Chains A and B, each alone.
Chain A
């Protein structure tokens, strides 16, 4: 397993956001993390990306314990992420946004510019390379965030609601990008509300509800699981 989460618990005072969650992501695998609002998906994400530290439990990435390591060390170890709200560097062009990520592995400006252009082409943003990031549409900023996260050469990419607020055509485009990410050998852990976005690409789904893992399996298995249906539809 590339990523192994064991018994991860995150408490905020009396509130338990994640309750002893365990799962793994294999190299090159696409795993979806779904669940109703407030299920603890983003907290779990932030713990894996190093922006938050678990209260208990272990996060092992490529054989190293990463719990509480901080986002800088997680990035260096090969965990890339996007944010729920696109955190673009607004005053910089799309190309420059991606270049910032490239500098983690190589300080040369020239090679960063070349790699940034390749990655922008990969997410179909080449024509917008020189545009200030703040002037891009939401869909474009999401794809820019993916290109920027790929720039650090990650082995695992965490995508936080990369498809929220996109129209059906943009969702198809995003699904296509995820498929191509996998073909580069990068594993993906995807938090997603848009089911048309996650069902066709995920190898496995993990379902969270009230901070606990209630189901795990292929999209087919999970969508028939009575516990999952109960969590989403509220039937007892």
Chain B
């Protein structure tokens, strides 16, 4: 689909960017800033997931494994070797991409539901592995040192720097997704998703290009995981490697619109909003209500809007555009 550039798109985008940059100045409460950071980080993970799950159509329900590998790599390098996250996070991205290639090799022999099931299993194994690995804190987890702070170590006492880091990382991830979408890779990924047999007959190596999608997707997810570790200053297997997180990441992209650039961003805003509002509205008694709402959301997306929010909006716009032409 070729999108026509709207005349107002650029000014609108610049205004939105300015508003996002100024947000921490206006939104002063740490709790609200935290919520904004969570939304941005969730959106980033969703956009990263979307490269594999949305464009290439390979539904992964184990992406927490990759963000978790990023979080652990950055944390361990910082704690054990005193290496700055500026090096640790890219190292984590490489580690996650390498793990993705190893995992993808057997899993991409499976298709459809079987692939999704395999990703759950592999992610569970990784979670259990880290939970029993004493060097990596096992089940107790790892606490990051707070004696170092500032931009060298990317550890801060206030929330605002994390907000800008999350915003920057989201922008970087969107940029990569945009570049993929526009290059031959984006076409190959969509061809693999639409009709694998026809793609092969045109010389598209399925395993190879699924691996490319997985490597990109897992490396970007790892960067998100690293940022999570730096923001929370504490990680353990349930917080960064859980299947719940994997499903949430997938849901963010599916709710917003799979295979669309900004779908996961919208999905993250909606989902994080629901999660936080049920928590504040219902307090302690509301535990689990957000999960009920998730479940209802998944069901309604599957039944009514399989293309997600952006897909639905796009279809409405196309219908409106087609109407005057038909008359």
Chain A contacts to B: CB under 8 angstroms: 49, 51, 70-72, 75-76, 80-81, 83, 87-93, 96, 99-101, 103-104, 107-109, 112, 130, 148-149, 151-152
Rank and list the top 10 A-B pairs by shortest CB-CB distance, nearest first: A75-B203, A87-B198, A89-B194, A104-B203, A71-B200, A103-B184, A100-B191, A101-B202, A107-B184, A87-B195
Complex-state Cα separation, A103 to B185, whole angstroms: 9
Q: Is the CB of B200 within 8 A of A91?
A: no
User: Looking at the complex, which one of B1, B183, B201, B205 makes contact with A81 (CB distance below 8 Å)?
Assistant: B201
The answer to whether B199 has its CB under 8 Å from any CB of chain A is: yes
Q: Is the CB of A149 within 8 A of B201?
A: yes
The answer to whether B279 has its CB under 8 Å from any CB of chain A is: no
Chain B neighbourhood of A149, CB < 8 A: 201-202
Chain B contacts to A: CB under 8 angstroms: 1-2, 182-184, 187-188, 190-191, 193-195, 197-205
**Chain B min CB distance to A156 (Å):** 13
**Chain A min CB distance to B152 (Å):** 39
Q: Is the CB of A100 within 8 A of B202?
A: yes
User: Looking at the complex, which one of A71, A107, A109 makes contact with B201 (CB distance below 8 Å)?
Assistant: A71
Chain B neighbourhood of A104, CB < 8 A: 202-204
Complex-state Cα separation, A167 to B190, whole angstroms: 32
Chain A neighbourhood of B184, CB < 8 A: 103, 107-109, 112
Complex-state Cα separation, A49 to B203, whole angstroms: 11
Q: Please list 25 pairs of residues, one from A and one from B, whose beta carbons are closer than 8 Å in the complex, sorted by A's number.
A: A49-B201, A51-B200, A70-B200, A72-B203, A76-B203, A83-B198, A83-B201, A87-B195, A87-B197, A88-B195, A89-B191, A89-B194, A89-B198, A90-B194, A90-B195, A92-B1, A93-B1, A96-B1, A100-B187, A104-B203, A107-B184, A109-B183, A109-B184, A109-B187, A130-B2
User: Looking at the complex, which one of B1, B182, B204, B205 makes contact with A100 (CB distance below 8 Å)?
Assistant: B204
**Chain A min CB distance to B215 (Å):** 18
**Chain A min CB distance to B50 (Å):** 15
Chain A neighbourhood of B203, CB < 8 A: 71-72, 75-76, 101, 104, 152
Q: Is the CB of A148 within 8 A of B202?
A: yes
Chain B neighbourhood of A70, CB < 8 A: 200
Chain A neighbourhood of B200, CB < 8 A: 51, 70-72, 75
**Chain B min CB distance to A98 (Å):** 10
User: Looking at the complex, which one of B1, B183, B190, B202 makes contact with A75 (CB distance below 8 Å)?
Assistant: B202
Complex-state Cα separation, A81 to B200, whole angstroms: 11
Complex-state Cα separation, A112 to B202, whole angstroms: 14
- Which partner residue on chain A sits nearest B307 by CB separation? A91
Q: A100-B191, A148-B202 are in contact. List 18 more A-B contacts (CB 8 A).
A: A49-B201, A71-B200, A72-B200, A75-B203, A83-B201, A89-B190, A89-B195, A89-B199, A90-B195, A91-B190, A91-B193, A91-B194, A92-B1, A92-B191, A96-B190, A101-B202, A109-B183, A149-B202
Q: Is the CB of B194 within 8 A of A92?
A: yes
Q: Is the CB of B198 within 8 A of A88?
A: yes
**Chain A min CB distance to B178 (Å):** 13
Chain A neighbourhood of B195, CB < 8 A: 87-90
**Chain A min CB distance to B211 (Å):** 14
Chain B neighbourhood of A148, CB < 8 A: 198, 202
Complex-state Cα separation, A71 to B203, whole angstroms: 7
**Chain A min CB distance to B306 (Å):** 12
Chain A neighbourhood of B202, CB < 8 A: 75, 100-101, 104, 148-149, 151-152
Complex-state Cα separation, A108 to B198, whole angstroms: 21
Q: Is the CB of B182 within 8 A of A109?
A: yes
User: Looking at the complex, which one of B191, B194, B198, B204 makes contact with A72 (CB distance below 8 Å)?
Assistant: B204
- Which partner residue on chain B sits nearest A76 by CB separation? B203
Chain B neighbourhood of A75, CB < 8 A: 200-203
- Which partner residue on chain B sits nearest A90 by CB separation? B194
With A100-B188, A103-B187, A107-B184 as known contacts, state yes or no: A51 contacts B197, CB within 8 Å. yes
Complex-state Cα separation, A93 to B191, whole angstroms: 11
- Which partner residue on chain B sits nearest A80 by CB separation? B201
Chain A neighbourhood of B199, CB < 8 A: 89, 100
Complex-state Cα separation, A91 to B205, whole angstroms: 20
Chain B neighbourhood of A89, CB < 8 A: 190-191, 194-195, 198-199
Chain B neighbourhood of A76, CB < 8 A: 203
Chain B neighbourhood of A109, CB < 8 A: 182-184, 187
Chain A neighbourhood of B205, CB < 8 A: 72
Complex-state Cα separation, A104 to B208, whole angstroms: 14
**Chain B min CB distance to A51 (Å):** 7
- Which partner residue on chain B sits nearest A106 by CB separation? B184
Complex-state Cα separation, A229 to B183, whole angstroms: 53
Complex-state Cα separation, A104 to B187, whole angstroms: 12
